[in-house]
Amino acid sequence: MSRPTVPDGPGAVESIRAAMESAEHLDEPARWSPRGFRLANLLGAGVLTAFSAWLLLASLSYAFQVGGQPGPGFFPRLVAGLLLVLGLVWFGTTLVRAPDVTGVSEGPPDRPTLVRVVAALAVVTAAAFALMTLGYPLTIAAAVAALALLAAATVRTAVVTGVLFAVTSFLLVTTLLGIQLPLGVLRPFLVFLL
């Protein structure tokens, strides 16, 4: 094994000082660049705008008003419209203003965080496609439990949270609002609630 060389001569102090300063920068957290910050904001605004536009189009198939009362399409249209406006404002301000990253204390997400975000989006997308087949109670219980696990909950906490959220939201929507949610494979067991 070769021994590490120690610089000597007139520039030795400067080279040691430079090496120490570069080692200090290794401990600093990653910082956003203005270009990366703008790109992340444009991407987030684009996803929000596209999702809310899709949600708004999907909600048009439900009645906005039934018998002078808000119908099943009222709340989804209201939420989708507000999200669409927010997405467009976010997109527009990101395009118009140059991002100032000096006041941003949190750096860009690391790889594990990005993996969790992509996994959460996959869970929500899969739940949207499974809703009609599995039904609302099973789909929402599984989706909420999976999202809780991604947020570092224990398995027991995730399962309890998913089941409680699914049962509570199902009963509130079907009894208080009178909106029928898809029962899917649980239809034979829950048909008495309709």
Q: Over the stretch 140-186, which tens digit does the pLDDT of each residue have?
A: 999 999 999 999 889 999 999 999 999 898 888 888 777 777 777 77
Residues 159 and 86 in one domain: no
The answer to whether the CB of 157 falls within 8 A of the CB of 148 is: yes
Write down which residue in 90, 107, 124 finishes a domain.
107
Residues 103 and 114 in one domain: no
Write down which residue in 54, 83, 107 finishes a domain.
107
Range(s) of the domain holding residue 143: 109-194
Residues 160 and 80 in one domain: no
Residues 168 and 135 in one domain: yes
- pLDDT-based confidence at residue 97 (cuts at 50, 70, 90): confident
User: Residue 55 domain-assigned?
Assistant: yes
pLDDT digit string, tens, across residues 8-28: 555 666 666 666 665 555 555
Residues 39 and 76 in one domain: yes
User: Residue 159 domain-assigned?
Assistant: yes
- CA 149-153-157 angle, to 5 degrees, is 100
Q: What average pLDDT does this structure show over 65-70? A: 76
- The Cα 60–Cα 182 span in angstroms is 18
Residues 125 and 160 in one domain: yes
User: Residue 86 domain-assigned?
Assistant: yes
**DSSP structure string for 101-167:** -TT--S----HHHHHHHHHHHHHHHHHHHHHHHH-HHHHHHHHHHHHHHHTT--HHHHHHHHHHHHH
CA 186 to chain centre: 29
Q: What average pLDDT does this structure show over 41-53? A: 90
Q: Give the per-residue pLDDT at 53.
A: 92
Write down which residue in 45, 73, 107 finishes a domain.
107
